[in-house]
């Protein structure tokens, strides 16, 4: 039997102790090295788990997803550590840094909260000071995709409205948009313009450089027809001038009406006109074209003087435009400053009403306007009332009594109600100007 001396035992004890200390130290270092990897692994699991569970459950519920709830202390601590690490690495869950929006898909959202795909539109216009503001608004709003701009005579003749449309698109940096000229005169009437409001050049008399952008060789009706027929049911017509181009299109190609899901017009009024006591300017210029549009069967939204004369541009709005440092705001500020100066010299103060921008804005934020179903007839025969929009909120729809010399008897009026338009009867001005100013000055 081997007996160890006391010194030998002491030496052995020291060796064992040193080895134990070395092993313990190495273990701590290994934990320190491995722990972050474990935390990252757990973080990834914590982040991916709800997404995977949501994907698995989506087909069954389409509305809810399930997350695994930790049942043990170890699971709870693991998930808590992972969440803490995820928060430090990626920011708070659900924040903008994750590119996930709660309750909505990622993408542009309108002032009304929609995150749908951009609405595809063609703008038919007669620029025009408020037309300029409307075009700028449309081109700077991701909720809208402007497929084309077509010009028509109205506020000023076509030889001015067409270059104005080219000029405005160029100022906005949107030279990609096709632009075409349309009708130079109304369907059956002589052209009446509004140079006294919009200035001799249609842009308040403000001189801008000649546009480099060129119009298409197609006419306005050819361009509209080509785009609509290539995309049936997808293109909304936004008409903010006299309706000559649209009336011409529908008269020459009635079948295209079923391919147009909606026409939104700036025009008409239920409460009197602005160029005559009866008629609003756009419908006064070409009442026959307007009648074709309202009788076409296409869903019509009428944004008329009942609401547009409640959104008047004020001095503080023009100052905001002038102070913003982008080409659109600078151009808009110059146009509207000149227009406001003209208003101060005695022109009707409603020349600074944002007729056309409100019409465009109603597509961006549907909550801006209160709409009501009406059956609308456009007066075309009156010597003093041509262009008047007569709105029926209910049946029966009664025309004028027949003349005593009439040979045919008048049929009994239909007692059922068949609206042909949704008419704007209410507006939120502050909400509108918040949208308009934010888009033009950003």
Residues labelled catalytic: 355
- Phi, psi torsion values for 262, nearest 5 degrees: -165, 145
Angle subtended at Cα 97 by Cα 91 and Cα 98, rounded to the nearest 5 degrees:
90
Helix then strand then coil, % of the chain, to nearest 5: 45, 10, 40
The answer to whether 162 touches 223, Cβ cutoff 8 Å, is no
End-to-end alpha-carbon separation of the chain, Å?
96
In this structure, what token pair is assigned to residue 289?
């074209």
Q: What is the DSSP letter of 348?
A: -
How many Å apart are CA 142 and CA 139, to the nearest integer? 8
CA distances to 136, 146, 178 from 307, rounded to whole Å, are 21, 24, 31
In this structure, what token pair is assigned to residue 325?
């440092």
How many Å apart are CA 59 and CA 39, to the nearest integer? 32
HSE, side-chain direction, 13 A CA sphere, residue 299: 11
How many Å apart are CA 374 and CA 393, to the nearest integer? 5
Of the candidates 193, 285, 278, the one whose C-alpha atom is nearest the C-alpha of residue 246 is 285
* The residue count for the chain: 442
**Element spanning 392, H or E:** strand 389-392
């Amino acid at each position: 039997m081997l007996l160890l001396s006391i010194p030998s035992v002491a030496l052995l004890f020291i060796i064992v102790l040193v080895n134990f200390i070395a092993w313990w130290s190495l273990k701590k270092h290994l934990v320190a090295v491995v722990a972050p990897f474990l935390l990252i692994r757990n973080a990834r699991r914590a982040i991916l788990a709800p997404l995977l569970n949501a994907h698995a459950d989506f087909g069954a519920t389409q509305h809810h997803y399930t997350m695994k709830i930790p049942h043990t202390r170890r699971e709870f601590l693991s998930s808590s550590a992972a969440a803490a690490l995820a928060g430090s690495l990626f920011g708070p869950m659900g924040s903008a840094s994750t590119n996930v929006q709660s309750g909505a898909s990622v993408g542009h959202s309108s002032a009304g909260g929609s995150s749908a795909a951009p609405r595809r539109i063609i703008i038919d216009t007669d620029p025009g000071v408020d037309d300029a503001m409307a075009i700028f608004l449309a081109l700077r709003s991701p909720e809208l995709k402007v497929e084309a701009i077509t010009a028509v005579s109205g506020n000023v003749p076509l030889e001015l409205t067409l270059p104005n449309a080219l000029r405005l698109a160029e100022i906005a940096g949107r030279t990609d948009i096709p632009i075409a000229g349309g009708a130079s005169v109304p369907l059956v009437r002589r052209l009446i313009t509004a140079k006294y409001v919009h200035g001799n050049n249609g842009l308040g008399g403000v001189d801008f450089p000649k546009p480099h952008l060129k119009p298409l060789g197609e006419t306005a009706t050819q361009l509209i027809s080509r785009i609509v027929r290539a995309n049936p049911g997808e293109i909304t017509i936004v008409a903010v001038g006299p309706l000559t181009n649209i009336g011409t299109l529908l008269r020459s190609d009635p079948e295209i009406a079923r391919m147009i899901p909606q026409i939104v017009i700036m025009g008409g009024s239920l409460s009197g006109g602005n160029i005559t006591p009866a008629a609003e300017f756009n419908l006064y210029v070409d009442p026959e074209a307007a009648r074709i549009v309202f009788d076409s069967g296409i869903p019509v939204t009428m944004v008329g003087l009942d609401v547009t004369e409640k959104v008047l541009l004020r001095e503080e709005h023009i100052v905001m435009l002038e102070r913003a440092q982008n080409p659109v705001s600078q151009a808009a500020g110059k146009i509207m400053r000149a227009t406001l100066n003209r208003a101060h010299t005695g022109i009707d103060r409603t020349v600074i009403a944002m007729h056309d921008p409100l019409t465009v804005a109603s597509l961006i934020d549907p909550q801006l306007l209160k709409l009501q179903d009406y059956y609308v007839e456009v007066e075309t025969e009156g010597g003093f009332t041509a262009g008047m929009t007569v709105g029926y909120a209910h049946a029966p729809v009664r025309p004028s009594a027949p003349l005593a010399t009439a040979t045919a008897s008048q049929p009994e009026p239909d007692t059922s109600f068949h609206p042909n338009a949704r008419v704007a009867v209410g507006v939120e001005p502050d909400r509108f100007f918040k949208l308009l100013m934010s888009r033009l000055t950003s």
